[in-house]
Structure 1
Amino acid sequence: MDLVQAVLLALLQGVTEFLPVSSSAHLILLPALTGWEDQGLAFDVAVHVGTLAAVVWYFRGELRPMIVDWGRSLLERRLVGESRLAWGVLFGTVPVGVAGLAFKDVVETSLRSPLVIAATTIIFGVLLWWADARGQRLRSEHTVGWKDVLVIGVAQAIALIPGTSRSGITMTAGLMMGLDRQGAARFSFLLSIPVIAIAGGLSTVELIGAGESVIWTPLLVGTAVAALSAYLCIHFFLKLLERIGMMPFVIYRLLLGGALLAVYA
């Protein structure tokens, strides 16, 4: 992998990881359309480290009280302060963890096709539009209850299907449950922290077991580019969300899905 490929793939990962447009779909499609070889497991780990660093740093102010209050809730055996949100993030991660272990082989083989990506891109794009248009948008992420966590957590598990978009479907579910746009987006981003950490950890174990040789320069460049682009993406997405809504991303998904159908159907 040369540095141009590393920069473009890392930039794509950093931007699309947190937008409701599916990072996995774009990372599958770019090499397929350009004829590049698969970027390899080591590079996937590197860009996941970059995006994880970005979201943790961006939400560092919220994460500190969440962790402290979560610890207090264990000791006091009751919800205190931000422990509700911390427990919500933890329990919301369980469905995707279970589904990932159960369907890992299917997701990585049978479902990695342009037609599957086209279908999920369109279907979940329309669902995002519906949720944004019809959702009550009354609550912030700090009000999430167990019903919200269950619905959003199950939605996150569905995002294992390429083209669905983890951030997109969790925002969709959050909007359907009555969260406002900022609340749905922020809870989605907080949910990404354990998911990215688990995925990156499993890939690291797999990489160590495979004993692959590592060329460090593109990995370091990829990590830095993914971290910077992901941080900027989160910042500007949250800043502009109330003004632009979800419609630009819905339109993009419909155009992308239609183009894929035209090429591969």
Structure 2
Amino acid sequence: MDILQILILAIVQGAAELLPVSSSAHVIVAEKLMGLDPTAPAMTLLLVMLHTGTMFAVIAYFWRNWVETYFKSPHERRTNLIGIVTATVATGIVGLTLQYLIKHIVANGDPHFEIEQLFGNSKLMAAALAAGGVLIILSSRIKERSGVELSLKSSTLIGAVQGLCLPFRGFSRSGATISTGLVLGVSRRRAEEFSFALAVVLTPAVVAKELYRLVKHQGIAPGASFPSLIHMAAPGLLGMVFSFIAGLAALRWLSSWLESGKWYLFGGYCLVASLIVLWVN
């Protein structure tokens, strides 16, 4: 994998991960167009590093707003912490339940089945992209209401919708959670801040899972030397920097369109992208 390929993947992952357009669908298409194997250990490690870069971009972009919103008083800190924890628990319950049902219904209880085996299904990916696009367009038509707080019930519903995104590549996490917040009457800024607060909580778990799969499938031998690990991680470190920069640019873009009433355009893009996924595959 050369530097140009790393740069392309980092920009695609960094931007699409934070924009409501599904990074996984875009990365898979980009990998196929460049003739790369998404199941290769080096590719898995690279994507883990790219996820980490976008997570730091989210923290850097929202930190000041989070301090003003979540930590301005002990009461606000406690209330928002409960909301984030409740939403994350709802995500885990819905996501794990879906994975269990898929394993026992689609895979007939195959003990070797992993949810990642569905990620290459272009029809499923296109359907998820289209569903996300429709949700974004519908939510954009709801007028923003003032004075609506992010209640515990709303937090739980947003977390549950986030859980629906986990097994399905193409169903954008940020698009689904922000749209759900808008449907529930939460302000655009509050829905955006909460969505990405959930992302920061969720990303370490996703990264840890991918690293576990990498070791489990012997992508990294248990006795691998430190120089060999550095050699394997070097492309990822470079990609992490690129994805961080792309992530910051994407967040500015998202905030601008969300606040200026152009949110629906992301939905239209998802609908077009779903057709492209079917065409490429």
TM bucket by the smaller chain?
0.7 to 0.9
The 1:203/1:106 distance shift into structure 2, 3 A limit, reads closer
Deviation at 1:192, TM superposition (A): 0.6
Residue 27 of structure 1: aligned partner: 27
The residue type paired with residue 124 of structure 2 is V
Matched, 1:204 2:211: yes
- The answer on whether the counterparts of 2:14 and 2:50 sit within 8 Å (CA) in structure 1 is yes
Name the % identity.
28
Matched, 1:42 2:63: no
Residue 11 of structure 2: aligned partner: 11
Residue 77 of structure 1: aligned partner: none
The residue type paired with residue 178 of structure 1 is G
Residue 112 of structure 1: aligned partner: 120
Matched, 1:168 2:156: no
- The answer on whether the counterparts of 2:57 and 2:247 sit within 8 Å (CA) in structure 1 is yes
The 1:65/1:252 distance shift into structure 2, 3 A limit, reads closer
Which residue of 109, 129, 133 corresponds with 2:137? 129
- The answer on whether the counterparts of 1:66 and 1:83 sit within 8 Å (CA) in structure 2 is no
Deviation at 1:106, TM superposition (A): 4.9
Deviation at 1:55, TM superposition (A): 0.9
Q: Distance in 2 between matches of 1:83 and 1:174?
A: 20
Unmatched runs of 5 consecutive residues or more in structure 1: 73-79
CA shift digits 1:64-84 (9 cap, x unpaired): 4677679x5xxxxxxx02332
Residue 238 of structure 1: aligned partner: 255
CA shift digits 1:201-243 (9 cap, x unpaired): 2333444554255423311111101111112211232134222
Q: Distance in 1 between matches of 2:261 and 2:211?
A: 38
Q: TM-score, normalised by structure 2?
A: 0.81
Matched, 1:253 2:270: yes
Residue 151 of structure 1: aligned partner: 157
Residue 97 of structure 1: aligned partner: 92
Q: What are the equivalent positions in structure 2 for 1:58-97 lying under 5 Å apart?
A: 58-64=61-67, 72=74, 80-97=75-92
Deviation at 1:25, TM superposition (A): 1.1
Q: TM-score, normalised by structure 1?
A: 0.85
Which of 108-117 and 96-105 deviates more? 96-105
The 1:262/1:10 distance shift into structure 2, 3 A limit, reads closer
| Cα RMSD (Å) | 2.5
Which of 100-109 and 25-34 deviates more? 100-109
The 1:205/1:64 distance shift into structure 2, 3 A limit, reads farther
Unmatched runs of 5 consecutive residues or more in structure 2: 101-112, 222-227
- Residue-pair matches, total: 254
Residue 182 of structure 1: aligned partner: 189
